[in-house]
């Protein structure tokens, strides 16, 4: 048996070009299949992990998704702000335990700047109700102080006490708030959520930054030096959204109705967990379609393998006949052919896994920045292993065809000269 497998390997090596191309096709197909599965799983994971313990996300009445994407993942854009008065009305509602105002729109070298209250660090939860922890320093207390997410600090090499300048808007080269630098007072521990890529400042700082701005640009000829901003009323007039925690969970539906029917302004309250579940429900079809397409691509690859092996049989008539003449039984020829197909499939699957790991390493920063999806580099999960198993089994089944053909070839087949 061992000798047969050795012969199969050597024979395969002599035809390495054709088999190599087939192997690459299978590897690419497997990469695609696994990538679809991995992104599906990781997207769910990271969306679910990004916010926990928040009962409601409140914003302007746009769509639940825009609101979630913007408020929690800092992706996309918010169409409208909500007024500070509406926020206060919600925050002081007797059923509300805590409320965190969020003000987005500025950035720092590609990282989102979030204006919020210092309570944010006490109430925000991620993953399995984990609190935010400071790796260094502490929360901001006054204007022009900033707390950095771990990725911001690592990526830009900032330390406590460093001065940073924020830019207006999300463009990397947007107008600078250069006259009002911020001092880093704290750096958060890594969370694996969008928090890592966020610069946190107080709401008052956001107002102060824009004191001498009108209509999205600095007022010409007017500059208010940083040391004078305290003389102004820095209470924000509007915020982007708010995260709300309730005293009693049973109030959540009632509170949602209250906010959605709020008279002062068109508001939207979204239950984050419900929104995500409804999102998965509706994209389930798309996911299944993607998975089905990539499964088809794998099938095409394996069909190519079977075709290559079958076509090869003709060229190998002599080789197989000599083996038979030397005493190999039809069973051994069958095993040899089938093993060759199975080995090529297995090697393709392994190569596909390597490609996936390399590819996901390359795509991870982009996915995190664009969609807030944390693509983890990890060993294949049970679902992925099942897919790989299915691919290898199918490859084995596909290789049975050339194996069976070779078995059926008579001993004399390759020895009788024919035209």
Tracing tokens 């509706």 back to the chain, one arrives at: 282
3-state secondary structure of 187: strand
Tell me which of 202, 207, 256, 308 binds another protein, using CB under 8 A: 256
Tell me which residue of 241, 253, 409, 258 sits closest to 324, measured CA to CA.
Answer: 409
Q: Does 248 bind another protein (CB under 8 A)?
A: yes
Q: Does 249 bind another protein (CB under 8 A)?
A: yes
Tell me which of 286, 303, 358, 415 binds another protein, using CB under 8 A: 286
Query: Distances from the Cα of 79 to the Cαs of 60, 66, 76, 101, 111, in angstroms?
Result: 8, 8, 10, 17, 20
State the minimum distance, in angstroms, from the CB of residue 108 to another protein.
21
Q: Does 202 bind another protein (CB under 8 A)?
A: no
End-to-end CA distance of the chain: 34
User: Considering beta carbons, is residue 18 or 80 the nearer one to another protein?
Assistant: 80
Q: Which stretch binds another protein (CB under 8 A): 57-65, 83-91, 189-197, 294-302?
A: 57-65
Q: Does 268 bind another protein (CB under 8 A)?
A: yes
Instruction: Quote the longest CA-to-CA distance of the chain.
Output: 104
Contacts of 228 (CB under 8 A, 6+ apart): none
Alpha-carbon distance of 362 to 9, in angstroms, equals 34
Tracing tokens 């990004």 back to the chain, one arrives at: 50
Q: Does 374 bind another protein (CB under 8 A)?
A: no
Tell me which of 45, 49, 80, 260 binds another protein, using CB under 8 A: 260
State the minimum distance, in angstroms, from the CB of residue 271 to another protein.
5
Tracing tokens 């393709």 back to the chain, one arrives at: 348
In degrees to the nearest 10, what's the CA dihedral of 214, 215, 218, 220? Answer: -80
For another protein, what does the binding mask look like between residues 319 and 358, x meaning CB under 8 A?
----------------------------------------
Locate all alpha helices (DSSP H) within 106-159, ordered by sequence.
120-123, 150-156
User: Considering beta carbons, is residue 25 or 56 the nearer one to another protein?
Assistant: 56
Q: Does 292 bind another protein (CB under 8 A)?
A: no
Q: Does 63 bind another protein (CB under 8 A)?
A: yes
Q: Which stretch binds another protein (CB under 8 A): 26-34, 91-99, 242-250, 307-315?
A: 242-250
Query: Distances from the Cα of 5 to the Cαs of 1, 9, 307, 309, in angstroms?
Result: 6, 6, 21, 16
Alpha-carbon distance of 179 to 16, in angstroms, equals 65
Tell me which of 226, 234, 283, 350 binds another protein, using CB under 8 A: 283
Q: Does 263 bind another protein (CB under 8 A)?
A: no
Q: Does 245 bind another protein (CB under 8 A)?
A: no
Q: Which residues in 171-200 contact another protein (CB under 8 A)?
A: none
Q: Does 362 bind another protein (CB under 8 A)?
A: no
Q: Does 41 bind another protein (CB under 8 A)?
A: no
* Ramachandran sector of residue 290 (left: φ over 0; alpha: ψ -120 to 50; beta: rest): alpha
Contacts of 372 (CB under 8 A, 6+ apart): 46, 47, 50, 69, 72, 73, 74, 75, 193, 194
Contacts of 61 (CB under 8 A, 6+ apart): 80, 266, 267, 268
Q: Which stretch binds another protein (CB under 8 A): 191-199, 247-255, 323-331, 397-405?
A: 247-255
Tell me which of 15, 44, 61, 317 binds another protein, using CB under 8 A: 61
Q: Does 80 bind another protein (CB under 8 A)?
A: no
Tell me which of 152, 208, 269, 349 binds another protein, using CB under 8 A: 269
Q: Which stretch binds another protein (CB under 8 A): 64-72, 108-116, 192-200, 356-364?
A: 64-72
Q: Are the CB atoms for 187 and 221 separated by under 8 Å?
A: no
State the minimum distance, in angstroms, from the CB of residue 275 to another protein.
6
Alpha-carbon distance of 327 to 195, in angstroms, equals 69
Q: Does 18 bind another protein (CB under 8 A)?
A: no
State the minimum distance, in angstroms, from the CB of residue 76 to another protein.
6
Alpha-carbon distance of 234 to 180, in angstroms, equals 15
Structure tokens at 178: 């250069």
3-state secondary structure of 142: coil
Q: Which stretch binds another protein (CB under 8 A): 93-101, 188-196, 268-276, 304-312?
A: 268-276
What does DSSP assign to residue 304?
A: H
Q: Does 141 bind another protein (CB under 8 A)?
A: no
Contacts of 386 (CB under 8 A, 6+ apart): none
Contacts to another protein by CB under 8 A: 52, 55, 61, 63-66, 68-69, 76, 248-250, 252-253, 256-257, 260, 268-275, 277-279, 281-283, 286, 370-371
């Amino acid at each position: 048996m061992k000798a047969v497998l050795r012969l199969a390997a050597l024979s395969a090596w002599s035809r390495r070009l054709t088999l190599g191309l087939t192997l690459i096709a299978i590897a690419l197909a497997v990469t695609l299949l696994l990538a679809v599965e991995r992104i599906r799983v990781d997207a769910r994971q990271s969306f679910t992990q990004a916010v926990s313990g928040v009962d409601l996300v409140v914003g302007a009445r746009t769509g639940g998704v825009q609101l979630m994407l913007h408020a929690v993942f800092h992706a996309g854009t918010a169409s409208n702000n909500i007024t500070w008065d509406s926020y206060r009305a919600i925050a002081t509602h007797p059923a509300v335990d805590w409320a965190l105002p969020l003000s987005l729109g500025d950035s720092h070298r590609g990282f989102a700047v979030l204006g919020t209250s210092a309570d944010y660090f006490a109430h925000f939860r991620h993953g399995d109700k984990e609190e935010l922890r400071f790796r260094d320093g502490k929360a901001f207390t006054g204007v022009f102080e900033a707390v950095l997410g771990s990725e911001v600090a690592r990526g830009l090499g900032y330390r406590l006490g460093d001065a940073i300048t924020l830019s207006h808007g999300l463009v990397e080269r947007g107008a600078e708030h250069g006259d009002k630098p911020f001092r880093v007072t704290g750096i958060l521990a890594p969370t694996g959520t969008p928090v890592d890529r966020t610069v946190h400042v107080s709401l008052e700082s956001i107002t102060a930054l824009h004191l001498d701005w009108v209509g999205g640009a600095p007022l010409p000829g007017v500059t208010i030096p940083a040391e004078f901003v305290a003389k102004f009323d820095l209470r924000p007039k509007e915020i982007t959204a708010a995260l709300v925690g309730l005293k009693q969970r049973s109030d959540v539906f009632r509170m949602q109705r209250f906010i959605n029917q709020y008279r002062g302004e068109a508001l939207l309250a979204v239950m984050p967990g419900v929104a995500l579940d409804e999102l998965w429900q509706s994209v389930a079809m798309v996911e299944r379609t993607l998975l089905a397409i990539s499964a088809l691509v794998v099938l095409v690859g394996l069909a190519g393998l079977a075709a290559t092996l079958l076509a090869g049989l003709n060229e190998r008539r002599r080789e197989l006949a000599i083996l038979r003449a030397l005493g190999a039984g039809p069973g051994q020829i069958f095993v040899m052919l089938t093993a060759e197909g199975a080995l090529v499939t297995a090697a393709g699957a392994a190569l596909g896994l390597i490609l996936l790991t390399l590819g996901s390493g390359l795509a991870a920063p982009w996915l995190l920045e664009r969609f807030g999806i944390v693509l983890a580099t990890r060993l294949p999960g049970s679902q992925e292993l099942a897919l790989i198993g299915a691919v290898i089994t199918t490859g084995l089944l596909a290789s049975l065809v050339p194996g069976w053909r070779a078995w059926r070839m008579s001993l004399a087949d390759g020895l009788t000269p024919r035209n």
